[in-house]
Amino acid sequence: MGITGQDGYYLSRLLLQKGYEVHGIVRRSSVMNRVRIDQLKQEIPEHANRLTMHYGDLTDNASILNRVLELEPDEIYNLAAQSHVRVSFDMPMYTQQVNADGALNVLEAARMLNRRKTVKVYQASTSEMFGGLPGTVPQSEATLFHPRSPYGCAKVAAFHHTVHYRESHDLFSANGILFNHESPLRGENFVTRKITLAATRIAEGLQSVLKLGNTKAQRDWGYAGDYVEAMWLILQHDTPEDIVIATGVMRSIEDFLDAAFGAMELNWQDYVQIDPDYFRPTEVHQLCGDPTKARDLLGWRPKTSFEELVRIMLEHDRELARREKWIGEMATKS
């Protein structure tokens, strides 16, 4: 579930490279929304025949139940969500339906299948459940939840359902509590990607202003490619466990701006405008994870540094900006 998203791309690539047969659930939409999947098939054509898509929607219980019972997977990764925190304030009910009720649909389908054969379920839980209030940093598995958005509230519900199915139905269901992880395939309206797209477009003369909300917020940013390995390791562990996945280092949006604009030899203060539209009714101020359990139990450590993450995102987006500029120049010539 969630195969067309950022993490869906990286996890599918990892599983295919490990020899898995991968089945993804995709939503029907009026335009095909499979850009990342198409990219994956082009990058590893030798594995593409083990990748299959099926229509389904997390909010449609029958579609999830039918797919799970038909396909009989050994492992289910529920990455599907309305994943934008700011948007969840505009669509609280929908966010609850997808992120909480949808997760329950997955667990219920897994419970049915588990009567026939053993199945393991990974639930994409999040640092947003902690709420990032001052005095709660760093956050670990023992930190109390205090969600500050409809997104966070729905994810807390899904977290508890996942624990409950493990305890009451003997299902192997586990939560990865992942802190922010980014990549060149990050959605364009998350802050890191918004910044790398803007910095590179400004460097190419395609943009002059970047409008942002709260640049003082702090996050623990890692690389999505490293984090999907942790998802897989969580399901390979002997027992189902809820585990924080993070780097343990916290930086502000301004630190990210310094790194990205600095690499383009630009000063972000010359381009950034603060726009109240991008502020949230309640902000999550500080997220910084304690990944001790992940290291001790799974042997997992992040491999990609913050500097390397910013570099690969900029390299990708600079190429996009150059292509956009070239197309613009060709259009004016013709």
Would you name the residues annotated as active-site residues?
126, 128, 151
Q: Which residues contact 71 (CB under 8 A, 6 or more apart)?
A: 23, 54
Give least dist CB 326 to ligand NAP, A: 28
Q: Which amino acid is at 268?
A: W
Distance of closest approach, residue 210 Cβ to ligand G4F, in angstroms? 8
Nearer to ligand NAP, 80 or 243 (CB): 80
- Tell me the C-alpha distance between 121 and 179, whole Å: 19
Classify the C-alpha dihedral 213-217-218-224 as positive or negative.
negative
Q: Which is nearer to ligand G4F, 5 or 73 (CB)?
A: 5
Angle formed at CA 253 by CA 247 and CA 255, multiple of 5 degrees: 75
Q: Does 180 bind ligand NAP (CB under 6 A)?
A: yes
The yes or no reply on residue 94 touching ligand G4F (CB under 6 A) is no
Q: What is the DSSP string of 7-59?
A: HHHHHHHHHHHTT--EEEEE---SS---HHHHHHHHH-GGGGGGEEEEE--TT
- Give me the 65-94 binding string for ligand NAP, x by CB under 6 A, dash otherwise: --------------xxxxx-----------
Contacts of 160 (CB under 8 A, 6+ apart): none
Which residue do the tokens 């898509």 mark?
Answer: 53
For residue 295, the one-letter residue type is R
Tell me, residue by residue from 70 to 89, as one string, x for binding to ligand G4F by CB under 6 A and - for no binding. -------------x-xx---
Per-residue x/- track, 23-62, ligand G4F (CB under 6 A) = ----------------------------------------
Residues interacting with ligand NAP, by CB under 6 A?
1-8, 25, 27, 33, 57-59, 79-83, 98, 102, 124, 126, 178, 180-181, 187
Residues interacting with ligand G4F, by CB under 6 A?
83, 85-86, 126-128, 179-180, 189-191, 194, 212-215, 217, 219, 253, 278, 280, 283-284, 287
